[in-house]
Amino acid sequence: MRWTLFLLLWPGLASADSVIALRRIPAQSVVSAADLNIVDAVIAGAVTDAALVIGQEARVTIYAGRPIRAADFGPPALVDRNQIISLVYVAGGLQIVTEGRALGRGGTGDMIRAMNLSSRTTVSGIVTETGTLRVGPITP
């Protein structure tokens, strides 16, 4: 019993891994396993599981040797700024589709603004998994 307690309280036996950048990861690039390295150290704010960021897009440039933080990554962008996209309004049984120009960049679930090319008005909407922008009442 005493040995178990001793081993649990011994500070040298507990270890955690942190994920760092192996090379420079430019903003807006998708992260692969070759970009990451796992070190046996506790780094405040660093991701401990590389699987959380593999396949995600870097929101900022990460330099080699720097810790990987979850806030610096997100889903890959499906819509780029100035891209012509479909604006979809759905309410009840009504569906209206028109073209718009994206005023921002975003991935699935991100809210961005777009300009309706027909009326020249600016609308906000959520990027769907197909790359369209859903505008109007937001329903789960």
Give the pLDDT mean for 102-126. Answer: 94
Taking 50 as the threshold, does the pLDDT of residue 8 lie above it? no
Looking at per-residue pLDDT, the higher value among 102 and 108 belongs to 102
Parts of the chain belonging to CATH 2.30.30.760: 77-135
Pick the CATH number of 2-74 from 3.90.1210.10, 3.40.190.80, 3.40.50.920, 3.30.930.10: 3.90.1210.10
The answer to whether domain 77-135 has CATH 2.30.30.760 is yes
The answer to whether the CB of 87 falls within 8 A of the CB of 73 is: no
Taking 70 as the threshold, does the pLDDT of residue 2 lie above it? no
Parts of the chain belonging to CATH 3.90.1210.10: 2-74
